[in-house]
């Protein structure tokens, strides 16, 4: 061990001198590794950032404990025309379900329309208007900057009150003080009773709580959605705990089949959607991005590695005589091998550190555009590990060529 | 006690389809504290013999016994170790590391012997002092004269206290006076009990030795003892 450290130290000194003697060549050579490592680090942190914000957004919109009973399936292999022919889920279905299901901690109806909202001369297009009832608050972790959610009475009476998401509130009321103001949703006047915290979200573009406006579902039917045609809703069901989700789902299916009067040989005419399925899909997509990213960066690293290998071969050739001298005075094969491996690992490590530095700068720049990246410790370890590995791997063949040189031939080399 | 015994050594090079017999059949023994010159016309196999004696090269045929050990049975690592500890080489073209200063060049064999920094430095300085280069330790080869370079090489050869010093035309690239300086160094080493083998073209240099072995076409032509040898005197610097 002591001897190994000793040889490593000598190898490092030799490597350092060799690099210093060929400054420009060393810089050019490391360029490939610099680019390779920079892209590996950037890519991996970007992917991690994307993945994390996907998960976060999905959780903030749907909550991991929620399942959704819908006419439509988010995923799956039921053809869309069959889905279209299904019966809508009605408010009566919701009431029956709520009465019969025993496991859920909350059951709420939900329906969505997009409308333009106006306050004074400010218009916000494409707001997601969510029609629901007072229990909705139990299925999310919405935080209030001001005000409150609507009550059972307001809900049942179809009062024109609304709770608005952080981003919409910012646009409508740049000065704040939105509560108790009256806004127009399309052409109907609604009183603002609550404003949610801005969450910031990366997934689904605008479809996140920041761009939502919650109103009583009965008001929705009155103003924006016919109860009869296209009057379908979906039912959000909250499980008391994460572990309970499968049981709640199981029960939901049997209760819904009973309510819908399905015979044992008939298929479900509704879908149970849940966040887990969405996450699966996200993970798949992130996986694809990851593979593509790794392939591209792998290619960059590979090109860098070939550059290093090439320059190490040149270096070995140039120093044939030196190798002969070292062998003549007692250097063993493994010493020579170690010397060149150390050299190429050292060059790559330098390149890797420069690459890391560039990646950190790059991440800082990208962060300014609200793209979620930050270089973490594991990326630093990754950069150092990868550049050392590349150095050792691409140095192997040249180092072996040097190690197995015949001392007499090497000394005679001109 | 003999350090070197070779029996029926041959070295054959294959050049294309042709065989070049650099050494045909050479047998000889060399004792401790001998001073041997190897002579012969160009191409007679002197360097080839030296390389084999120095464990840099292995013979095609024959048996080589170095301090009682069969060299032919040794692994590359063993050979490297013998070159490091038992043999000191001096070459015609100096063969110093161009990018390292004199001190580091002399230290190098000790590095490969795994000797710690303090002791290494000390011994390298000592060796450089022996060859009168104590004031040139931090000079690189290209900042030294030919004679000085060769003295660094001699210091490097003797720094490990080898059993034997091999010199292949050590004065070949030097003028007569400087050559004489180098010969004076060998003289001192010889007086201190070292074993020295040197290859030379020049009769005058060979006469410093106690024994001259003459090669011709890969065979020993003559092996003679010098009765009245030259003794090199150190120049007054
Ligand atoms: N690597 C080699 N491949 C082929 N032939 C070689 C090789 N090395 C030496 N020879 C041949 O072996 C013979 C002996 O060479 P060697 O170098 O031992 O001669 P030498 O006596 O040292 O000559 P000089 O006085 O010119 O240095 C020569 O004919 C040379 O051409
Ligand atoms: Mg020769």
The secondary structure of chain B as a DSSP string is -EEEEEEEEEEEEEETTEEEEEEEEEEEEEETT-EEEEE-STTSSHHHHHHHHTTSS--SEEEEEETTEEGGG--HHHHHHHHHHTEEEE-TT----TTS-HHHHHHHHHHHTT--HHHHHHHHHHHHHHTT-TT-TT--GGGS-HHHHHHHHHHHHHTT--SEEEEESTTTTS-HHHHHHHHHHHHHHHHTT-EEEEE-S-HHHHTTSSEEEEEETTEEEEEEE-SS---PPPPP-
| Pairwise CA distance, residues A215 & A231, whole Å | 16
DSSP codes of every residue in A17-61: HHHHHTHHHHHHHHHHHHHHHHHHHHHHHHHHHHHHHHHHHHHHH
**Residue nearest (by alpha carbon) to ligand 1 atom 7:** B13
Which residue ranges in chain A fall short of pLDDT 70? 1-2, 57-63, 200-206, 228-231, 370-375
- Map residue A123 onto helix, strand or coil: strand
Which candidate, B23, B22, B38, B27, places its Cα nearest to that of B2?
B27
Contacts of B154 (CB under 8 A, 6+ apart): B90, B131, B170, B182, B185, B186
Ligand 1 centroid, distance to B146 Cα (angstroms): 25
Nearest CA distance, A399 vs chain B (angstrom): 17
Query: Touching check for B85 and chain A: CB below 8 Å?
Result: yes
Per-residue model confidence (pLDDT) at position A365: 84
Cα distance between residue A28 and residue A308, in whole Å: 10
Find where tokens 């110093």 sit. Answer: B96
> Contact at 8 Å (CB) between A93 and A235?
yes
Our CA-based measurement puts residue B38 at a distance from the nearest CA of chain A, in whole angstroms, of 19
- Assess contact for A229 and A82: CB atoms under 8 A: no
Of A3, A325, A331, the CB nearest to B80: A331
| Atom from ligand 1 closest to the CA of residue B45 | 18
- Which letter, b or e, does each residue of B99-127 get, where b requires 16 or more Cβ atoms within 10 Å of its Cβ? bbbbbbbbbbbbbbeebeeeebbebbbeb
Backbone angles phi, psi at B15, to 5 degrees: -115, 105
| Tens of pLDDT, residues A29-81 | 888 889 888 888 888 887 777 777 777 766 666 667 888 898 888 777 778 78
Instruction: Find all residues with CB under 8 Å of A309, minimum gap 6, and list them.
Output: A344, A394, A395, A397, A398
Tell me the DSSP string of A390-407. Answer: HHHHHHHHHHHHHHT--H
| B89 with A333: Cβ contact below 8 A | no
Does the beta-carbon distance from A328 to B109 stay under 8 Å? no
pLDDT, residue A11, reads 77
Closest-CA distance of chain A to residue B227, Å = 34
**pLDDT value of position A204:** 56
CA distances (Å), A60 to each of A204, A209, A355, in order?
12, 8, 36
Whether chain A has a CB inside 8 Å of the CB on B163: the answer is no
Cβ distance A330 to B114 less than 8 Å, yes or no, reads: no
| A243: three-class secondary structure by DSSP | helix
For chain B, list residues with pLDDT below 70.
Answer: 235-237
**Nearest ligand 1 atom to alpha carbon B51:** 18
**Short-list B188, B182, B198, CA closest to B149:** B182
- Find tokens 């090109």 and name the residue: A303
Q: How far is it, in rounded angstroms, from Cα A266 to Cα A268?
A: 7
Strand partners, B87: B164
Q: Are A386 and A302 in contact (CB under 8 A)?
A: no
Show the tokens assigned to A370.
């609200």
Q: Could you read off the pLDDT of A202-244 as tens digits, one per residue?
A: 555 567 788 899 999 999 999 988 776 666 899 999 999 888 8
Backbone angles phi and psi of A207, in degrees to 5 = -75, 80
- Which residues surround ligand 1 with Cβ inside 6 Å? B 13, 15, 20, 22, 40, 42-48
- Cβ-count burial of B12 within 10 angstroms (0-12 exposed, 13-18 middle, 19+ buried)? middle
> Given this model, what pLDDT does residue A370 score?
63
What's the pLDDT at A16? 81
What residue ranges define each of the domains in chain B, with the CATH number in brackets? 32-60+86-225 (3.40.50.300)
CA proximity to A86, closest of A304, A271, A315, A236:
A271
């Amino acid at each position: 061990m002591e001897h190994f450290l000793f040889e490593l130290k000598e190898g490092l000194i030799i490597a350092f001198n060799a690099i210093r003697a060929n400054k420009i060549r060393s810089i050019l050579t490391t360029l490939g590794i610099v680019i390779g490592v920079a892209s590996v680090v950037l890519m991996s942190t970007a992917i991690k950032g994307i993945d994390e914000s996907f998960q976060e957004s999905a959780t903030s919109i749907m909550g991991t404990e929620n399942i959704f009973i819908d006419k439509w399936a988010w995923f799956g292999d039921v053809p869309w025309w069959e889905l279209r022919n299904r019966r809508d889920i009605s408010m009566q279905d919701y009431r029956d379900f709520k009465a019969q299901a025993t496991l859920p901690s909350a059951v709420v109806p939900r329906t969505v329309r997009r409308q333009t909202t106006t306050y004074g001369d400010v218009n916000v297009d494409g707001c997601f208007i969510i029609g629901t009832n007072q229990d909705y608050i139990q299925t999310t972790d919405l935080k209030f900057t001001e005000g409150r959610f609507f009550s059972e009475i307001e809900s049942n009476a179809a009062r024109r009150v609304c709770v608005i998401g952080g981003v919409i509130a910012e646009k409508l009321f740049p000065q704040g003080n939105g509560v108790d103001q009256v806004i127009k949703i399309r052409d109907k006047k609604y009183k603002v009773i609550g404003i949610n915290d801005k969450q910031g979200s990366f997934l689904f573009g605008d479809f996140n709580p920041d761009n939502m406006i919650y109103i009583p579902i009965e008001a929705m039917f009155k103003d924006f959605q016919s109860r009869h045609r296209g009057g379908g809703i979906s039912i959000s069901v909250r499980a008391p705990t994460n572990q309970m989700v499968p049981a709640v789902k199981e029960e939901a299916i049997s209760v819904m089949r009973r309510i819908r009067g399905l015979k044992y040989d008939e298929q479900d005419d509704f879908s149970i959607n849940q966040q887990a399925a969405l996450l699966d899909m996200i993970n798949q997509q992130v996986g694809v991005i990851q593979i593509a990213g790794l392939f591209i960066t792998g290619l960059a690293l590979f090109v860098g590695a070939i550059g290093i290998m090439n320059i190490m071969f040149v270096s070995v050739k140039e120093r044939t005589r030196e190798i002969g001298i070292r062998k003549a005075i007692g250097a063993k094969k493994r010493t020579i091998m170690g010397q060149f491996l150390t050299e190429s690992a050292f060059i790559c490590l330098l390149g890797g550190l420069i690459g890391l530095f560039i990646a950190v700068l790059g991440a800082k720049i990208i962060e300014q555009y609200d793209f979620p990246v930050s270089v973490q410790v594991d990326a630093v370890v990754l950069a150092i590990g990868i550049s050392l590995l590349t150095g050792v791997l691409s140095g192997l063949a040249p180092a072996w060529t040097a190690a197995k040189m015949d001392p007499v031939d090497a000394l005679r080399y001109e | 006690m003999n350090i070197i015994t070779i029996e029926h050594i041959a070295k054959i090079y294959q050049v294309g389809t042709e065989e070049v017999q650099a050494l045909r059949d050479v047998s000889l023994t060399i004792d401790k504290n001998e001073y041997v010159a190897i002579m012969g016309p160009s191409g007679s196999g002197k360097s080839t013999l030296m390389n084999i004696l120095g464990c840099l090269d292995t013979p095609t045929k024959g048996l080589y016994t170095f301090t009682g050990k069969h060299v032919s049975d040794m692994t590359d690592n063993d050979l490297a170790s013998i070159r490091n500890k038992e043999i000191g080489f001096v070459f015609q073209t100096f063969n110093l590391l161009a990018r390292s200063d004199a001190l580091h060049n002399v230290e190098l064999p000790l590095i490969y012997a795994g000797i710690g920094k303090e002791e290494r430095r000390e011994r390298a300085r000592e060796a450089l002092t022996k060859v009168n280069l104590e004031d040139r330790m931090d000079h690189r080869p290209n900042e030294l004269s030919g004679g000085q370079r060769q003295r660094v090489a001699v210091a490097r050869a003797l720094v490990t206290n080898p059993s034997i010093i091999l010199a292949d035309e050590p004065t070949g690239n030097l003028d007569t006076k400087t050559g004489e300086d180098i010969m004076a160094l060998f003289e001192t080493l010889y007086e201190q009990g070292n074993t020295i083998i040197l290859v030379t073209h020049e009769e005058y240099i060979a006469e410093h030795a106690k024994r001259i072995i003459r090669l011709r076409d890969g065979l020993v032509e003559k092996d003679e003892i010098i009765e009245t040898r030259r003794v090199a005197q150190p120049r007054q610097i």
